[in-house]
Each structure stands twice: as structure tokens, then as C-alpha cells.
Chains A and B, each alone.
Chain A
Amino acid sequence: MNPWLEAADLLGAVLLLLGCVQCLIGVIGMVRFPDVLTRSHAATKPQTIGVLLALAGVTLRLRDPIDLGTLGLIVFFQFLTSPVASHLVARSAYRTGQTGSRGLLRDDLDPQLSEGDE
């Protein structure tokens, strides 16, 4: 077998493993963080990197241009949709007062909402 292909397979496997580890870290963060807003940090960020790494690993193993396009599409939509979802969750969590039992150290948004332009 071509050594380049073997190297690509190995690198793909490593990337897949790294991606899964990232997703696992995100899940551990979900369990450990106390409230919705901090949890959304753990749920979205490591997970995006995890998906990116896993897909890069899959790309290196598949090596087919059209599959590469499909995987690129997955990355594109992942990047485009996950911020929207996490923003909506964070927004409603903030407005229902789910900012954690200890409150926030600093809050620039509260005065603006209290001005009554809602």
C-alpha cells in the first residue's frame, strides 16, 4: 500500500480520536458547570471543534472529492446554525433570570433592558 495513503489513514484516525476527546470534554463541562449560560459555553465550543476534527479525520480516510464537498457542507451548516441555537437558548435563559445562584460580576445588559425599550 502506498505509504502516503497509510499516513493519511493514520492521521485521519488520530484526528477522529482527538475530535471525540473534544466532544467528551464538552460533555464533562456540561455536567460540571452550574447554570445554563456557563453550560452553553461547554456545550457549543468544544463540540464545534470536536465535529470539525472528526470530519477532518473522516475526510482523510474517505479521500473522495464529492464526499469532501458533503463534509464541507456539514461544517458550513454546523458553523452557521449552532451560534443561532446557542444564542436563542442564552437569550431566553438570561431573560428568565437563569444567570446562576451567585449572580454576575458585571452586567452591562441589565440597565439597557430596564430602560423599558422592550
Chain B
Amino acid sequence: MSHTVRNFSPRRRRVPDLPLIAWLTVIWVLLWGTLSWGNLVNGVIVALCVSLAFPLPAVELGLRLHPLGILRLLVYLVYDMVSSSVEVTRQIQARGPYPAAVVAVPLRCRGDLMLTATAVAVSNVPGGSVIEVRRATSTVFLHVLDADDPGAVDKAKRSVWRMEELVAGAFGTAADIERARGPVPEGNGPS
């Protein structure tokens, strides 16, 4: 896997992408703060110009939206943030030294979207900050605080896998969901 050059498709679409234009228009209207025909038409024009002037590379996204899964992910995110804000507050009040560790957590899903979404979700909840992501092996490297506690590393790993399952349930294809429910990668079980 050394020196592999990633093949990003150099082909850039000149055809405007409807969901993208709709999304840009929604942002435009929200930023103006009033819903009027003028804003709507201007938004569509600006969105068209932007997507024609700065075409995005074609990406194999594989994005599926599962409303129930998204809701579950959001509820879990909020719950996790609130429950562990107490934890971070305690860590801040504790006297140093702060023993830390870098832990590799291999993911079960292989897609770029799953990897990115899981990394974003993980870094939004207290307890782990992502310092490196390996695309070739789908591995996330976490910086964990309080690593002298033997449970902390396992807890961090489990929370990443749990997050992966939720992210797959919210945005993944059927294959992703299947894989995220599967067992943890070989040789990387709780140590």
C-alpha cells in the first residue's frame, strides 16, 4: 500500500447538479433571512453560476438518507455530548499530569463517506479527538485523555464503533449497514 497514487477522477462535471443547486439556494435564502421570490430567483442564479464556475470533482458518494437513522444519530450525539461534557469538565479540574495515548481504531466500513462521517461524528463528542485518518485501511487514530485508566482506551474504541454503526444506519448503503453491524475487525478486539 506504499506509494499508491489515489485515483481521483479528473473528470469534472459541467452539468449542473440539481440537489447541489437546491441546497445552495436554501443556504442563500436562509442567509438573507427572508423568503421572497426575488431571493429565491437570485439564489438559483447564484447557485448555478457557482456550480458552473467551480465544478466539483465527481465523487463516488454512495449516500443514502435514512430519516429514522439520522434522528437516532442526532439523539445519540446530543446525549453523548451532554453526558460527557461532565467528563471533560472533571478532567479540566483535575490536577495534571494528563496521561494521553494515541489509539488506532480500524473501522468496518470501507467507503470514503462512512470514514469521513464517522470521523466528524467522533470528533464532535468529547472523549476523543481524531489526529490521523488512514484511507487505505479505514483506520481512525484517536487521541485519548486519561489513558492510564485501563478502561479508557477500550471505551474510546467501543464508542467509535458504536458511532460507526449509527452513521451507517443514517447515511450508509445496505452493504455499509450490514458491515457496521458485523464483528469488530480481526485482531483488534478490546485489548
Contact = CB atoms under 8 A, between A and B. Distances in A.
22 contacts: A22-B85, A32-B96, A33-B98, A34-B97, A37-B129, A38-B143, A41-B88, A41-B129, A46-B88, A46-B89, A67-B33, A70-B31, A73-B27, A86-B129, A90-B129, A90-B131, A94-B102, A94-B131, A105-B101, A106-B153, A109-B131, A115-B2
B132 A41 contact: no
Size class of the contact patch on chain A: 35 or more
Which secondary structure dominates chain A's binding surface? helix
Contacts of B148: 105
B70 to A, nearest CB: 13
Nearest to B126: A45
Nearest to A65: B35
Contacts, number: 138
Given A37-B143, A79-B120, A87-B119, A117 B100 contact: no
Interface in A70-107: 70, 72-73, 79-80, 82-84, 86-87, 90-91, 93-94, 99-100, 102, 104-107
B104 interface: yes
Nearest to A101: B97
Contact of B101 (A66, A106, A115): A106
A94 B69 CA distance: 34
Interface string A29-65: 1001110011011101110110010000000000000
B130 interface: yes
B2 A117 contact: yes
Nearest to A88: B131
A100 B97 CA distance: 10
A100 B102 CA distance: 12
Given A109-B104, A109-B141, A117-B3, A66 B33 contact: yes
